[in-house]
Amino acid sequence: MSALPRLSTIFLAAITTLVAVLLYSPLFVPIVSSFFTISHGSVDWSAPTLSTYVALAENHDILVALRTTLIVGVCTVILSVVSGTLLALYYHGRRSGRSVLQFIIFLPFLMPPIISGLALLIFFREIGLERSLLTVVIGHTVFVLAIVYRTVLMRLQSMSRTLVEASYDLGATGWQTFWRIILPNLSSAMVGGAILAFALSFDETMITILVTGTQSTLPVRLWAMMRLGFSPDINALVALILMFTVLLCVLAARFLIPRQVATERT
Amino acid sequence: MSEAGSTQHAERRLSLLVTVLAFALPVVFVLVPLAIFLGYSFFSVDQGTIVYGLSLGNYVRFLTDPVFLPVFWNTIVLCVSVAIICILLAYPAAYFLTTLKGRWRYALLMLLLVPLLMSYVIKIYAIRSILGLNGFLNKALVALGILQEPSTLFVFNMNAILLTLTLLLIPFAILPIFLSLERIPQVLLRASDDLGASGLQTFLRITLPLSLPGVASAASFVFVLAIGDFLTPQMVGGISGFTFGRILYSQFGTAYNWPFGAALSVALAVVVIAAILVGERFGRNRGTSV
């Protein structure tokens, strides 16, 4: 090895480290400070404490917002997985009109959320649907549908046709083939898609702000609180949410990565 | 026999339902709202109520009023800058990842992508507290003796928006660049080396040109995400950091002019579509298959 490649490797490693620091410092600041109390405007480093976590358990507004977020997330997951799977099953192996409809499904994901959100806001107003959690769920579903659809469709495409043909040859009806062959094969893609949908819904802020009524989800609640400045218990919440999100990522990777390995092998 | 007939009948009815849903869902919940939205941009507002008469007034106002076009242009420049900085940081990092072997490569890639899934509002808040007048950045700079006193350079202005958006969007630049670098066949690099090219020559003549599609996709991703963001500028921009997204959002809040907001959205959509098309056009991988 000559000196130049070694120098350039050091340079590249340094930039990569810088990027990692830039990406992670906004995450570590709240986590670290959640374990310390703030007195007289500066952090008291001498005594780590869990008092912020205790304070969080008593913060009623935040807990209500958290519950709202979970309700919205679960409804979004159910709606988007059912409709995303239906759409994937329907469009799979069909040529006519597929690319156009697929493009329409992807639009809310490609367009800036402000455009999707405002379009839905005006739509709800025109059809006389009052802004509520229902409109939030619809907004989230429209936004995450593309992800679920794509995850399921990719699994369908990598699934061997012979499985379905064998099922028919053995005398199964279309219904039986669907329940016994297609659905079990899709299940892990559906679970992976559901986790991604939940993670996206959990963090969705811009569309939610535009279509929500009086009840706010956690990001919207935090957004409103931020203008006044946070109380320390928010740091505790942040730490918990980050842990939860990491867990979701690991779960999603578990359900989605076997498929990639399988496609690489073929 | 009749039982089989009825299940077949039920199946046929079900497939009809699925067909209707497959067309109705995207059309009703995506296409119709967008169409109504586009329609709104030709309406106007009179004393707080929306007038459903077609006119080009909103577009004329956008193009002639001295306020909107400069903000529009400044926002585009801001978001192009964000894209450029993101790429300058992401390219070396992505290149470094491809020099790693096996498991390390993907572990580190995951490490750099995971922050994407972390709460967006909280990241903005944390960045703001780092950049603030009493924030970590200022304290560190003062402690290091680089600054005499805390600087207002990164507090509630365009610089703050630029930095925050960059920090938020770097992962979106890393992934496409990494994928295009990874796709470059090793034989090409070895051939270049065999033919006596230096490391720098190989990089400039082989690696860089072949990774440009990834750079184009990265730029288009980052630009589109940056220009559509109205929360970050609101949070860290203060009064002087006025972006197009904020003006657009205010039409649906304080200014209460939905039709004009819709027209501004159409202008935004045009830029976004152009950016996506440019990314798509130059983002195609060509000539990397051997």
For residue B123, what is the domain's CATH number? 1.10.3720.10
| pLDDT tens figures, A248-264 | 777 777 776 654 444 44
Whole-Å CA distances, A243 to A55, A59, B114: 19, 20, 12
Evaluate whether residue B47 is within a structural domain: no
Average pLDDT, chain A: 83
Is pLDDT above 70 for A63? Answer: yes
Evaluate whether residue B48 is within a structural domain: no
B129/B31 same-domain check: no
B30/B70 same-domain check: no
Evaluate whether residue B261 is within a structural domain: yes
* Rounded distance between C-alpha atoms, residue B72 and residue B70, angstroms: 5
* pLDDT at A67 (0 to 100): 92
Q: 3-class secondary structure for chain A? A: CCHHHHHHHHHHHHHHHHHHHHHHHHHHHHHHHCCCEEECCEEECCCCCCHHHHHHHCCHHHHHHHHHHHHHHHHHHHHHHHHHHHHHHHHCCCCCCHHHHHHHHHHHHHCCHHHHHHHHHHHHHHCCCCCCHHHHHHHHHHHHHHHHHHHHHHHHHHCCHHHHHHHHHCCCCHHHHHHHHHHHHHHHHHHHHHHHHHHHHHHCCHHHHHHCCCCCCHHHHHHHHHCCCCCCHHHHHHHHHHHHHHHHHHHHHHHHHHHHHHHHHC
Of the candidates B222, B223, B249, B212, the residue with the CA atom closest to the CA atom of residue B234: B249
B25/B143 same-domain check: no
Is pLDDT above 90 for A68? Answer: yes
Is the CB of residue B162 less than 8 Å from the CB of residue B101?
no
Whether B178 and chain A come into contact, CB under 8 Å, resolves to no
Evaluate whether residue B268 is within a structural domain: yes
* Beta bridge mates, B44: B51
* pLDDT at A55 (0 to 100): 79
Contacts of B228 in chain A (CB under 8 A): 111-115, 206
Percentage of residues in chain B having pLDDT higher than 90: 39
Q: Considering CB atoms only, which of B7, B127, B230 is closest to A206?
A: B230
B98/B233 same-domain check: yes
| Rounded average pLDDT over A73-97 | 87
Q: 3-class secondary structure for A207-227? A: HHHHHCCCCCCHHHHHHHHHC
The distance of Cα A105 from the centroid of its chain, to the nearest Å, equals 17
| pLDDT tens figures, A105-141 | 999 988 889 999 999 999 998 898 888 999 999 999 9
| Rounded average pLDDT over A89-109 | 82
Residue B87, burial from CB neighbour count under 10 angstroms (0-12, 13-18, 19+)? buried
How many other C-beta atoms are found inside a 10 Å radius of the C-beta of residue A179? 12
Q: What are phi and psi of B183, to 5 degrees?
A: -80, -15
* Rounded distance between C-alpha atoms, residue A52 and residue A44, angstroms: 13
Of the candidates B170, B203, B207, the residue with the CA atom closest to the CA atom of residue B89: B170
B27/B162 same-domain check: no
Evaluate whether residue B259 is within a structural domain: yes
How many domains is chain B built from?
2
- Complete DSSP assignment for B220-254: HHHHHHHHT--HHHHHH-TTT---HHHHHHHHTTT
| Among chain A residues, CA nearest to B16 | A90
Candidates A40, A104, A122: best to mutate against B (most CBs of B within 10 A) is: A122
Q: Considering CB atoms only, which of A16, A22, A118 is closest to B265?
A: A118
Which residue type is seen at A25? Answer: S
| Among chain B residues, CA nearest to A88 | B22
* Beta bridge mates, A44: A37
* pLDDT at A120 (0 to 100): 94
- Complete DSSP assignment for B159-207: HHHHHHHHHHHHHHHHHHHHHHHHTS-HHHHHHHHHTT--HHHHIIIII
Whether B175 and chain A come into contact, CB under 8 Å, resolves to no
In chain B, the largest separation of any two C-alpha atoms, in whole Å, equals: 92
B178/B263 same-domain check: yes
B25/B149 same-domain check: no
Please indicate whether, in this complex, the C-beta atoms of B231 and A223 are within 8 angstroms of each other. Answer: yes
Evaluate whether residue B95 is within a structural domain: yes
Q: Which residue has the higher pLDDT, B33 or A37?
A: B33
A80: left (phi over 0), alpha (psi -120 to 50) or beta: alpha
Q: Which of residues 103-122 of B touch A (CB under 8 A)?
A: 108, 110-112, 114-115, 117-122
Q: Which of residues 48-77 of B touch A (CB under 8 A)?
A: none
Contacts of A8 in chain B (CB under 8 A): 199
* pLDDT at A40 (0 to 100): 52
B138/B34 same-domain check: no
Whether A57 and chain B come into contact, CB under 8 Å, resolves to no
Please indicate whether, in this complex, the C-beta atoms of A142 and B171 are within 8 angstroms of each other. Answer: no
Please indicate whether, in this complex, the C-beta atoms of A15 and B276 are within 8 angstroms of each other. Answer: no
* pLDDT at B148 (0 to 100): 79
Min Cα distance B22 → chain A (Å) is 6
How many other C-beta atoms are found inside a 10 Å radius of the C-beta of residue A246? 13
Please indicate whether, in this complex, the C-beta atoms of B96 and A12 are within 8 angstroms of each other. Answer: yes
* pLDDT at B218 (0 to 100): 94
Location of structure tokens 């992670």: A24
pTM across the whole model: 0.86
Complex-level ipTM: 0.84
Evaluate whether residue B205 is within a structural domain: yes
Among A171-175, A232-236, B233-237, whose mean pLDDT is lowest? A232-236
* Rounded distance between C-alpha atoms, residue B29 and residue A146, angstroms: 13
* Rounded distance between C-alpha atoms, residue A42 and residue A45, angstroms: 9
B216/B261 same-domain check: yes
Please indicate whether, in this complex, the C-beta atoms of A114 and B125 are within 8 angstroms of each other. Answer: no
- Would you say how long chain B is, in residues? 290
* pLDDT at B77 (0 to 100): 96
Q: Domain segments of chain A: what residues?
A: 60-230
| Rounded average pLDDT over A191-202 | 89
Whether A248 and chain B come into contact, CB under 8 Å, resolves to yes
Residue ranges making up the domain that contains B18: 4-40
Whether A121 and chain B come into contact, CB under 8 Å, resolves to yes
* pLDDT at B79 (0 to 100): 96
Is the CB of residue B238 less than 8 Å from the CB of residue B157?
yes
| pLDDT tens figures, A179-191 | 888 888 888 889 8
Where does A60-230 sit in CATH, by number?
Answer: 1.10.3720.10
Min Cα distance A160 → chain B (Å) is 22
* Beta bridge mates, A39: A42
CA atoms within 13 A on the CB side of A154: 17
B12/B119 same-domain check: no
* Rounded distance between C-alpha atoms, residue A251 and residue A240, angstroms: 17
* Rounded distance between C-alpha atoms, residue A149 and residue A185, angstroms: 15
Q: What is the mean pLDDT of each run of 10 residues along chain B (290 residues)?
A: 64 80 87 92 83 87 90 95 97 93 84 83 84 78 80 81 94 93 88 86 89 93 93 86 89 85 93 91 60
B128/B32 same-domain check: no
Q: Which of residues 87-116 of A touch B (CB under 8 A)?
A: 87, 89-91, 97, 101, 104-105, 107-108, 110-115
Of the candidates B189, B37, B244, the residue with the CA atom closest to the CA atom of residue A107: B37
* pLDDT at A260 (0 to 100): 46
Evaluate whether residue B153 is within a structural domain: yes
Q: Which residue has the higher pLDDT, A245 or A86?
A: A86
